[in-house]
Structure 1
Amino acid sequence: MITFRKMVPEDCDAVAEVEKQCFSTPWSRESFWRDASSSDTYYLLAIDEEADNKVIGYVGCWILAYEGSITNVAIAPEYRRQGIGRQMLLKLIEEVKARGVTAMTLEARVSNTPAIKLYEGLGFRSVGQRPKYYTSPVEDAEIMWNTHI
């Protein structure tokens, strides 16, 4: 059974492990610790209860006044294509909306069609691109906003 809960600093090792599995330029454990300790961020974890409460995914959001900026969305490769990312994003939106967020933004690799379609299905719309935003490999980012949270 997959459940969701807020990340705490003690989860940073597990989150950093998922990060390494998902991204060519992973964030450090310290970055997650700092974010988990901040009142201006919210990270939601996906937990597999049947695998000893293993962290299998996460989504992070920086909260700036009434706007949320989604930092990373990651699901361990063996758990993808099960709707977990969508569920996680819906729960994140619920949480930040309760904190007064009315609009959210994110960036996605222009080649990441599955992610872009997921975000579009949640009301995000493309507003442009950031050239060479990503490294390893170098790629543009699609800038997406949802102004109707």
Structure 2
Amino acid sequence: MEIIYRTLTVDDAEAVRDIEVSVFPREAWSLEVLRVEIGGRWSHYLGAFRADELIGYGGVKGGVEGDLMTLAVRDEERGRGVGRHLVEGLLARAKDSGMEEVFLEVRVSNLPARSLYTGLGFRDLGLIRDYYRAPLEDAVRMGIKL
């Protein structure tokens, strides 16, 4: 079945929350935070849908410099290019909105995500000690010029 990518709206926040809780059980954003983020003036959120079911999402926000705020794909959909397509779509929207560079933080241990970002042109910018709290872990700061 075909995957459809579209801009998320505040009405999608509950579906985003369902994935958020399953992918980030200890660090999941609240429904209210998700609504604020998705509806934010400087935010661009993109969702991947299969048969009207949200299977992945991501968001970028900022002005000249942007931040890739979040990216998550349902466990059973990983390894099929959904994350790559979401990041490519977010980077295109970031560029179209005037962002010149996008940054992100990723867990040191999250090798699949780090590989995805490196494959899309992000470069390592340094280590941030104890960035994540649940569990405590360092982050790698990455960036890409658009």
Amino acid at match of 1:39: R
Distance in 2 separating the partners of 1:5 and 1:39:
17
2:39 corresponds to 1:37: yes
Distance in 2 separating the partners of 1:105 and 1:99:
15
The structural deviation recorded for 1:77 is 0.5
The structural deviation recorded for 1:126 is 0.6
TM-score by length of 1: 0.94
Segments of 4+ moved more than 3 angstroms: none
The answer for the alignment partner of 1:114 in structure 2 is 112
Amino acid at match of 1:79: E
The answer for the alignment partner of 1:13 in structure 2 is 14
Output the aligned Cα RMSD.
0.8
Gaps of 5+ in 2: none
Distance in 1 separating the partners of 2:65 and 2:55:
27
Aligned partner (choices 94, 98, 102) of residue 100 of structure 1: 98
The structural deviation recorded for 1:68 is 1.2
Distance in 1 separating the partners of 2:133 and 2:114:
19
2:1 corresponds to 1:3: no
The structural deviation recorded for 1:102 is 1.2
TM-score by length of 2: 0.96
Gaps of 5+ in 1: none
Matches within 5 A, 1:15-94: 15-23=16-24, 24-49=26-51, 53-63=52-62, 65-94=63-92
Distance in 1 separating the partners of 2:111 and 2:137:
13
- Name the SS for the 1:111 alignment partner: coil
